[in-house]
Structures are given as C-alpha cells and as structure tokens.
Structure 1
Amino acid sequence: MPKPENTAGARTPWQVTRSVWYAMFMREAISRTMADRMGWFWMIFEPLAFTLIMVAIRGFIRGDRLIVGAEFIPWMIVGLMGFFMIREGMMRGLGAVDANSALFAYRQVQPVDPVLVRNFLEGMLRTFVFMLFIIGAEMLGVGLFPDNGLKGIFWWVSLWSLGLGLGLVISVAGTLVPEVGKIVRMINMPLLILSGVIFPLNQLPHWLLEYLMYNPIVHGLELLRSGFFEGYKVVHGTSATYFWLCTLITLALGLLMHVRFKERLKAK
C-alpha cells in the first residue's frame, strides 16, 4: 500500500511567487541604487535640471500667466514628476524581459515577473524623489504640499498604474518586435510636450485640444494637479472615467499578451 506523500514542506504557488518577486526586487534594487555610483544623482538631478530649464524658458515668455489657480513652478514640478512616473514605467518595462532572460531557465520565473518588479521598484524610487522635491520646495518657500493629500496620493498611484499597464504592453511588443523599442524612445519628448507637462493645454485651439485629449496622460496629470492645487482649473474635458478606462485596458491587454506570448518571450 503506497505511503501518503509528505506535503508538510510544500509551498503554495503564492509563496513561490512571493519568493521570486522578493529575490528579483532585491536584485533590481541593488542594481539601480548601488551598481552605479551616479544612480541616485541622476534620479534627482534629471527632474531638477529639467524643471530649472523649463522655468527659465516659460518665465522668459511669461507662460506663468496662463495658469489659473496654481503657481507656475509647483505646477511644473507636479506635471514633470507625474510624467516621469509614467515614462519610467514604459522604459523599465521595455528592457525587462531581455535583461532577465537567463532567469527563465527556472520554471518559477515568468516573463511578467521582472516587469512587475521593475515597475514596483520604480514607483517607490520616484515617490521618494518626489517627496524630496516637496520637502525641498517647502524649505525654499515654494508651496508644493498637496491641498488635498488623499486625492494627490490616489492620482499619483493611478499614474503608476497607467505606467505599469503601458510597461506590460511594451515589454511584450518591444521584445518580439525590436523596432517598437526605437519608436517608444523617439516619442518620449513629443509625448512630454503633448501631455501638457510644460505648458497649459487650455490655451490651445479647441479643434487641436479635442485630439490631444485622447491622450490619457493628459487626464491623469490634470487630476493629479487638482489634488495639489485646490483652486486649479483643469483642462476642459478632463475625465477620471476615461483615464481609468484606458488604464484598465492597458493592464488587461498587457497581462493577456504575457499569457499569450509567454513561451516566445522565454525563447528570446
């Protein structure tokens, strides 16, 4: 009569997945923060330098007069930080599969795992950098603390969710079709301009604004700013429903693509 199997030491699928994520998170965290001695410097200096350059340009053409209900510098910083959160979600997802291809030899590791881990780590790092900016701005007398903290936090996490969805989609498309990665890198700067990061879109002609409002990043940034500045007038047509519809579609599409092309991603 066969003896019953000893399952006392067996782990559940969730425990295995959690262990994989923890190991990959520590690997990515060390790589991002310690492998490059200039890593922390660039994470802080990039948005700071970009903000100073844009403030100088917009101040020269008197762009601060076009914003209703918010000071120009805090308005700019919030928009930049929100955009960088989404952008890094896309870019970190782009190379996640190829960078961790050797780990797919272990059956516990799936191609979606490094994408999820990288985006979670990036969200933590960007949140920390944003907090440093808020503290620094308050010390310099620039009001950057959110007027509605819960709303600000909610839309900050919402932008991270959109970046994750885009990262999931691009991680598959960019791995299977390398040209996709080149296109994504090329559209970074145009996307920053067309998302209302450095100038308010409500001053544009109505016929042009209608097309730009198809970009969900615009909606997310405007709603994030509304959480930071109580009297801020968001761009006409801003919709939380549209933003979350796009976010959920990208998340679902990205996960479905990972399920559908899992074996091809492993074979790359």
Structure 2
Amino acid sequence: MPDLTEQGRAKRLRQDALRARSFRTPRTIMALILREMSTTHGRSPGGYLWAIVDPVAGLLVLSAVFSFAFASPPLGNSFPLFYASGFLPFMMFNEIANKMATSIKFSRPLLAYPAVTFLDALIARFLLVLLTHMMIAYIIFTTLIFVLGARAQIDLPYILLGIISTAALGIGIGTLNCFLMTSFSVWERTWQILTRPLFIISGIFFMFGDMPKVAQDILWYNPLIHVIGLMRSGFYAAYKDDYISLLYVWGIAVSTFTFGLLLLWRNHRRLLEN
C-alpha cells in the first residue's frame, strides 16, 4: 500500500495537470486568433482595422447606389436599412461558414503540435469572424438609424436571436464543410458554384411574403430566408414573420455541426497527414 504522502502527491499532480490543460485551450485559441489577425491583415493599411472599415464602407456605398435604383424600400423609409438588415446576416453566415471550412488548411502547420487541436482552430476562426461582424453590424445600424435618420422600431431580442441563429447555421455548415473540403479538394469549388445564387434568393432585396406562392414553397427551404426574416423582425414591427421556423434553422445547424464534428474527430489525423 502506498503511503498517504505518495497518494497526496499523485493527486496534486493530477490536479495540476488538469488545471494546466484547462488554461491551455483559451491561450491556444487566443494565439490562433492573433495569428489570424496578423497573417490576414498584417500587411494591409490599418491592419485588422481594415477588416471592419472595408465591409462597412462597401455596404454603405452599395446601399447608396441601390437606393437610386429602387424608388422606395418594401419596408420603412430607408433602403440602406432594409438592405443592411438582409445583407449583414447573409455576410455573417457566409464568412463564418467559409472561414471555418478552411480552418484545418489554414492552421495545418500548427496542428502538428499536440497542444493545438482542430477544435481550437475551428473555435478561433469562429470567434474572430463573429466579433468582427458584430462590430460591423453595430457601426452600420447605429449610423443608419441615429445619424442618417432611418426609421426603425428596434426589438433587441429578435435582433440577438437573428445573430445567434445566423452564427449557429454558419458553425454547422462550416464544420461539415471543413471535413468535406479537406477530404475532397473539388468540393470547395463545387460549394462556391452551388451557393452563388444565395445572394439573389435569400431575401436580401425582397420580402418573402411578396413572392408568388410557388416561389415561397421553394424558397422556404433556404434557411437564410428564415434568419434574414428574424433580423428584419427586429427592425420592422410590421414585418410578417409567420413563415419563420426556428426548428428548421436549428435542426440544420445542429445536425450539420454534429455530423461534421464526428467526421473530423474520427478522421482529423488522416486529414493532417494528407
């Protein structure tokens, strides 16, 4: 029988190992985030700040251009606000899904170290994109409503639910695509081709309720229609959101995330060796 001193020492060693492991993951994720910021934006004028200024300026310019093409928005008094309430969740989903899908490819050299896991790479890219796009959305909506005078009846719970649902959908699709794109190089190009029409058919420029019944029956299966509808409900009290199904959106998000994570967990060593 080992003495109590040896048992106590072994117990302390196990506790110290668990404590070190629990602090290692946040440090690893932060290091990956800083690496992403410096690698992607380090050579750009303004550094990481350009990641926020570029889409904000681009969206404001596009909004001004489209406002001349459309006499009046389907809702409210500001076409830029109507456009932003549809385009921002679309852009957030697209960026989260694409960044997470290429996480292993981007961080492959670091994943050779035992301290860095594929899950750390996924979390780091997700957090950076989410925080960036939340800052973009805050700047744009604040400017449009409080500076340019766009009329809106803000319902914060709907806005937050729209952001969370958009992020969840991006996580799910991005995690599944991370396995598919790393395993099959042709899938990355195929996915880009398949999703190119989403900009037109996701309700950025139109309202779901204004479409013909035949079109509604088809477009309903596009989950972006639902998350964009959630976002618009947070700015327009008159928006008809009875078609929105959170069960459908979260069903896709949870199922694709679970399936993608399982595939990555079982195959990540093989993917790193290829």
State whether TM-score is above 0.5.
yes
Pick from 243, 255, 258 the counterpart of residue 237 of structure 1.
243
Aligned to 2:167: 160
Aligned to 1:24: 32
**Paired residue secondary structure (1:228):** coil
Shift in Å at residue 63 of structure 1? 6.1
Q: Which protein has the larger Cα radius of gyration, Structure 1 or Structure 2?
A: 2
Is 1:80–1:197's contact at 8 Å kept on the other side of the alignment? Answer: yes
Distance 1:33 1:143 in 2: 35
Distance 1:201 1:18 in 2: 41
Distance 1:201 1:62 in 2: 19
Aligned to 1:196: 203
Aligned to 1:92: 99
Change (3 A) 1:187 1:238: same
Percent identity between matched residues is 21
**Paired residue secondary structure (1:159):** helix
- Scaled by the length of structure 2, what TM-score is found? 0.85
What residue ranges of structure 1 are gaps of 5+ in the alignment?
Answer: none
Pick from 253, 265, 268 the counterpart of residue 247 of structure 1.
253
Distance 1:51 1:197 in 2: 15
Task: Establish whether residue 103 from structure 1 lines up as the match of residue 116 from structure 2.
Answer: no
What residue ranges of structure 2 are gaps of 5+ in the alignment?
Answer: none
Aligned to 2:157: 150
- Scaled by the length of structure 1, what TM-score is found? 0.86
Aligned partner of 1:245: which letter?
Answer: G
Pick from 37, 42, 45 the counterpart of residue 54 of structure 2.
45
Distance 2:190 2:65 in 1: 30
**Paired residue secondary structure (2:175):** helix
Task: Establish whether residue 205 from structure 1 lines up as the match of residue 227 from structure 2.
Answer: no
The alignment covers a number of residue pairs equal to 264
Is 1:147–1:229's contact at 8 Å kept on the other side of the alignment? Answer: yes
Is 2:85–2:232's contact at 8 Å kept on the other side of the alignment? Answer: yes
Is 2:56–2:140's contact at 8 Å kept on the other side of the alignment? Answer: no
Task: Establish whether residue 257 from structure 1 lines up as the match of residue 263 from structure 2.
Answer: yes
Change (3 A) 1:71 1:231: farther
Distance 1:63 1:263 in 2: 54
Shift in Å at residue 113 of structure 1? 2.0
Shift in Å at residue 226 of structure 1? 0.5
Aligned partner of 2:271: which letter?
Answer: L
Change (3 A) 1:35 1:27: same
Distance 2:122 2:258 in 1: 14
Is 1:85–1:123's contact at 8 Å kept on the other side of the alignment? Answer: yes
Aligned partner of 1:60: which letter?
Answer: A
- More displaced 10-residue stretch of structure 1: 119-128 or 193-202: 193-202
Distance 2:60 2:193 in 1: 21
**Paired residue secondary structure (1:261):** helix
Change (3 A) 1:21 1:168: same
- More displaced 10-residue stretch of structure 1: 27-36 or 93-102: 27-36
Provide Cα deviations, 1:18-39, integer angstroms capped at 9, x if missing partner: 2322221222233344342265
**Paired residue secondary structure (2:161):** helix
Provide Cα deviations, 1:180-207, integer angstroms capped at 9, x if missing partner: 1112223444111111112223332211
**Paired residue secondary structure (1:10):** helix
Provide Cα deviations, 1:41-86, integer angstroms capped at 9, x if missing partner: 464334543554365446435462xx25674321210111110110
Provide Cα deviations, 1:134-169, integer angstroms capped at 9, x if missing partner: 22212121245x611122112212211111111111
Change (3 A) 1:215 1:174: same
Distance 1:183 1:47 in 2: 29
Distance 1:140 1:89 in 2: 29
Aligned to 1:74: 81
Aligned to 1:178: 185
Aligned to 2:137: 130
